[in-house]
Amino acid sequence: MKNRILVTGGTGYIGSHTVVELQNSGYEVIIIDNLSNSNADVVDNIEKVSGIRPEFFELDCLDYNGLDQLFTKMKGIKAIIHFAASKAVGESVEKPLLYYKNNLVSLINLLDLMPKHGIEGIVFSSSCTVYGQPDELPVTENAPIKKAESPYGNTKQINEEIIRDTVASGAPIKAIMLRYFNPIGAHPTAFLGELPNGVPQNLVPYITQTAIGIREQLSVFGDDYDTPDGTCIRDFINVVDLAKAHVIAINRILEDKQKEKVEVFNIGTGIGLSILDLINAFEKSTGVKLNYKIVGRRAGDIEKVWANPDFANNELGWKAGTSIEDTLLSAWNWQLKLRERGIQ
């Protein structure tokens, strides 16, 4: 029997790539997603990439009874990877209650039901937003948690505390929290990638949609930050590299290799690139010129942050290996594939 893993938000961007990597590693995957920011046909594309069709249930993690029934029906789930969350920084500033409800209650429901159904571990999709603007760069896992710059960032901080408190209370749960930096790119097959509903909230889909003519112009928010070219600096990580970190984390939980019941790892490249660096790399790797303009700063944005990934590299044996050029080219190939499929 293959070990069963539940992936919440599994038709989403990072979720779908992680499902493929789990299947490639011999796990049986069950996906739940409410399809609020994804489409059910992603399941078809997962099957095209991996050759295996995961079980899919359209279900919201806010639906406690629905989750309870699913765990009863799909017996033997060993662990959960929890992606399902609202994730746009700007939107969270405008709609804080939506973010607190979606992102906190979904996790609480899962943690409440895990002991009842014998589910022993959870890998939580956290974020470098928990560090706010770090005092020292690159940022390690020991950096202080700063007051969040946005409700979205705050939900990640609170969820980490919820997990720690739940495990500390004696609940029979193990957890690994992966603090991602900025996931970008697409699967090299161009069958999976980032496809937001409506106007993209993330940078690279906006770049590729602008490059192909769906969006008229890309706005770069601020060029007066304390950085070499005045634009924000981020640590951009390839989504497939990121997905592989989740498989290693699941292996670590199920093989009882954790040093502590709750562990935290930074998942990044260790390289800081500015927004203009990224635009230049996109133009270089694709040969496509981008129409962009500098506009004012955006609420909730952090000036600069990049990872010190040494702990994940050494302890997990995981390392980001895909170049920024190959990553951006994969995102562009995905956008071209979407056009072939008639998707704008």
DSSP character string of 277-325: HHHHHHHHHH-----EEEE---TT--SB--B--HHIIIII-------HH
Q: Which of 13, 27, 99, 152 is catalytic?
A: 152
Average pLDDT over residues 198-225: 94
* pTM beyond cutoff 0.85: yes
DSSP character string of 26-89: T-EEEEEE--SSS-TTHHHHHHHHHS-PPEEEE--TT-HHHHHHHHHHSTTEEEEEE--S---H
Answer whether 112's CB lies under 8 Å from 172's CB: no
pLDDT tens-digit profile of 218-271? 999 999 999 999 999 999 999 999 999 999 999 999 999 999 999 999 999 999
Q: Which of 95-109, 148-162, 275-289 has the lowest mean pLDDT?
A: 148-162
Token pair 């989750």 is found at: 67
Q: Is 99 a catalytic residue?
A: no
Taken in order 138, 144, 150, 152, is the CA torsion positive or negative?
A: positive
Q: Could you give the 3-state DSSP secondary structure of residue 12? A: coil
Average pLDDT over residues 121-141: 94
Q: Which two tokens stand for residue 173?
A: 């749960």
- pLDDT grade, residue 295 (50/70/90)? very high
At what angle are helices 13-24 and 239-254 packed, to 10 degrees?
60
Q: In what order do the strands lie in the sheet with 262-267?
A: 55-58, 28-33, 4-8, 77-82, 121-127, 174-180, 262-267
End-to-end CA distance of the chain: 41
Q: Would you say residue 46 has pLDDT above 80?
A: yes
- pLDDT grade, residue 172 (50/70/90)? very high
Give 147's DSSP letter.
Answer: P
Average pLDDT over residues 77-93: 93
Q: Would you say residue 303 has pLDDT above 90?
A: yes
Distance CA 102, CA 18 (A): 21
Distances (CA, A) of 96 to 91, 129, 131, 296: 8, 16, 19, 22
Distance CA 101, CA 115 (A): 23
- pLDDT grade, residue 300 (50/70/90)? confident
- pLDDT grade, residue 292 (50/70/90)? very high
Instruction: Single out the residue of 218, 85, 215, 67 nearest to residue 151, CA to CA.
Output: 85
pLDDT tens-digit profile of 146-163? 988 889 999 999 999 999
Average pLDDT over residues 295-315: 93
Mean pLDDT of all residues belonging to the chain: 96
User: What's the pLDDT score for residue 201?
Assistant: 82
